[in-house]
Structure 1
Amino acid sequence: MPTNIKFSRRSFILMSLTLAACKGGADVIELSGSTMGTNYSVTALDHDRNVDKAALKSALEKSLLAVNAQMSNWDASSEVSRFNAHNSTAPMHVSEGLAKVVQASREIHEASNGQFDITLGPVIEAWGFGAQNAGQRPSADSSALTAALEVAGQTQGLKVNGTQLSKSHPDAQIYLPSIGKGYGVDQMAEVAKSFGLTDFMVEIGGDIYVSGRNADSMDWQIGIETPDSISKKVFQVASVSNMGMATSGDYRNYFERDGERFSHIIDAHTGKPITHKTASVTVLAENTMLADAWSTAMLVLGTERGLEIANKLDLAVLFIDRKAEAGNNGFVSAASKRFTQLQA
């Protein structure tokens, strides 16, 4: 599963919201809980002071349970698990949500030169980073990895026809942590809007959607973490409004063997962990599902190739690379044209 940065600036935003509330402004709603193996949180301004917080929390958690039932690779009864166990090329009826996520995955797969691939699940498992074989560390030529590579790379073989989903290889499997969590955030945003909220932030495990402005009538200020598992410092602050935001990094989920570092981010072309110097990628997009998926794709691509695609497609992307001689504790950044425009 792609490891996303923590919401580094959350304490600053909550401080300003509390101050505004004390001055007689909007009521501040703060909700949190567990979902998808991580945590979710909501921070919102209730300008009319009439939102039922218990009802809002119930609706949010109902939507998250629905997403989990559709897309969790950790739940054997979920839709995606049942599709994976469906060893046939015959179509299977799925929910609109799962169909939407698979269709978006196919489009991003094509636009990223095949580097966003939701059928790499068996390879991720074989490397010990998945739901089933966590902690197992194979050699690059292990029989399990070889067998996994034979059924991976099937994203374009997935067909979506309304709510009918099929695969061209009966043993193909889909693995959705790199896009499903973002979709879950978008569902939370829809719930918040249905309660009449316009100024809010919702997030799951660092994947974020923000709407409107914060208590200071400014865009929301979101910290992008320095990709160092030890320092946990803010590398840069992004101003965000009415957009999804996600960061993928290789600095929390990895293992080392014989002096070699193996990241959980897998190159779809080689079936091996990435080896370039890009440590994290942050993407701003119209929704969090797209930001989540593209942050993974761009991390696999790396800064050089990723910037080419980001500028071609007008995507807002910030890359952070390791560079021993650089400032910022050995990191240097590069931004796409769209990201720079949004921060101007």
Structure 2
Amino acid sequence: MGTRYHITVVDAPDGVDRESVQALVDSELEAVNQEMSTYIPDSELMRFNGGPVGQPVPVSAPLAKVVELSLDIYRRSDGAFDITVGPLVNLWGFGPTAEPEQVPAQAEIDRLLAEIGSDALALQRNPDRLTRKRDVQLDLSAIAKGHGVDRVALLLEGQGITNYLVEIGGELRTSGRNPDGREWRIGIESPTAAGQVVHKPVRVSNRAVATSGDYRNYYERDGVRYSHSIDPRTGRPLSHRLASVTVIADNCAEADGLATALNVMGAEAGLQLAEREGLAVFMLVKTGNGFQERYSSAFAPYLEESES
């Protein structure tokens, strides 16, 4: 996944040691990579991307599950979350290719907009089969990390571990109590280039947390800042003032995907979706002299708990 992971286990059962858990975790994460990585040429996802168009292709249950959730978030966000957006990300120089010398022409953007779209996907469950109705390329990088967190969390629970924190590249899931016997305390990062600065702490146990933002990966051309986050509906980098979105959900895959979707939608539309669906969402919006906090009704109790 191109990132680090961190796991804290509290009070493991007798017979469960660090080395055995480490081996299980590494094996599980390797399995996730082999299913969903775009960096492994023979991963299941890349083999699917190179497979037939217009024909159902058998896929593994984990891949089907992540695609199913991705399609659900695609519909709920009116297309703001789209796992076929990769060609546009590459066009703007945020994929494996270098930054473009010039900003892409509108004609090229329009050409790719006509080709992408999760509406080209048809998923059948039990048995699991996935069909590309046109030659779209899937990229699960905005949700697979969260899925990996969930897989590790379930693995720990399978070992009888009930108090833990699992974090992969900033996305995390907690259960039970921390080493001090209290709820887990999570820091929402301040969206600055320096990083590792906590803007606000929240107490979160038995839930998952994911954050999406445009404050690290970007470049500038002629005084204009271009974010790595591409709106699949316009084909262009985000231009609104929403700096970061944090979502608390039951599982990390959903929190991960929703954070990306809401980041693309912007503060107004994103908060409307959050209130409509009862989502726990915290946003930091850029102002002239810093950041403004905005959050949904469902997020308020987490702030009250952290400040009490």
TM-score class normalised by the smaller sequence: over 0.9
Name 1:288's counterpart in structure 2. 252
2:119 counterpart of 1:156: yes
Name 2:210's counterpart in structure 1. 246
1:97-112 mapped onto 2 (5 Å cutoff): 97-112=62-77
1:173-322 mapped onto 2 (5 Å cutoff): 173-230=137-194, 232-322=196-286
Q: In 2 relative to 1, CA 114–142 (structure 1 residues): closer, same or farther, beyond 3 Å?
A: closer
Determine which of 116, 129, 136 is the counterpart of 2:81: 116
Q: Which runs of 5+ in 1 are unaligned?
A: 1-35
- Secondary structure of the 1:298 match is helix
Q: Distance in 2 between matches of 1:268 and 1:88?
A: 21
Name 1:341's counterpart in structure 2. 301
2:93 counterpart of 1:133: no
TM value normalised by structure 1: 0.84
2:69 counterpart of 1:69: no
* CA-CA distance at 1:134 after TM superposition: 4.2
* CA-CA distance at 1:48 after TM superposition: 4.2
Q: Distance in 2 between matches of 1:260 and 1:116?
A: 24
* CA-CA distance at 1:47 after TM superposition: 5.0
Deviations 1:98-121 (A, max 9, x none): 100001011101111110011101
> 8 Å contact 2:167–2:173 — kept in the other structure?
yes
Corresponding letter in the other structure for 1:199: N
Deviations 1:39-71 (A, max 9, x none): 111111025454221111111111101110111
1:49-68 mapped onto 2 (5 Å cutoff): 50-68=15-33
Q: Distance in 2 between matches of 1:191 and 1:288?
A: 14
Of the structure 1 ranges 82-91 and 96-105, higher mean CA displacement relative to structure 2 is found in 82-91
Deviations 1:128-148 (A, max 9, x none): 112x31434552316654443
Q: Distance in 2 between matches of 1:37 and 1:213?
A: 29
- Secondary structure of the 1:334 match is strand
Q: Distance in 2 between matches of 1:119 and 1:48?
A: 43
Q: Distance in 1 between matches of 2:267 and 2:11?
A: 40
1:37-52 mapped onto 2 (5 Å cutoff): 37-46=2-11, 48=13, 50-52=15-17
- Secondary structure of the 1:177 match is coil
> 8 Å contact 2:229–2:264 — kept in the other structure?
yes
* CA-CA distance at 1:165 after TM superposition: 0.5
TM value normalised by structure 2: 0.94
Q: Which runs of 5+ in 2 are unaligned?
A: none
Q: Distance in 2 between matches of 1:96 and 1:333?
A: 39
Corresponding letter in the other structure for 1:338: A
Q: Distance in 2 between matches of 1:38 and 1:137?
A: 28
> 8 Å contact 2:113–2:232 — kept in the other structure?
no
* CA-CA distance at 1:127 after TM superposition: 1.0
Q: Distance in 1 between matches of 2:174 and 2:106?
A: 44
> 8 Å contact 1:127–1:137 — kept in the other structure?
no
Determine which of 70, 92, 96 is the counterpart of 2:57: 92
Aligned length: 302
Q: Distance in 2 between matches of 1:229 and 1:246?
A: 18
> 8 Å contact 1:126–1:148 — kept in the other structure?
no
CA RMSD, Structure 1 to Structure 2 (Å)? 1.5
- Secondary structure of the 2:5 match is strand
> 8 Å contact 1:227–1:280 — kept in the other structure?
yes
> 8 Å contact 1:281–1:295 — kept in the other structure?
yes
2:42 counterpart of 1:82: no
Stretches (4+) displaced over 6 A: none
Overall identity of the aligned pairs, in %: 41
* CA-CA distance at 1:339 after TM superposition: 0.8
Deviations 1:1-50 (A, max 9, x none): xxxxxxxxxxxxxxxxxxxxxxxxxxxxxxxxxxx111111111025454
Deviations 1:246-296 (A, max 9, x none): 101101000000000000111121000010000000000000000100000
> 8 Å contact 2:174–2:206 — kept in the other structure?
yes
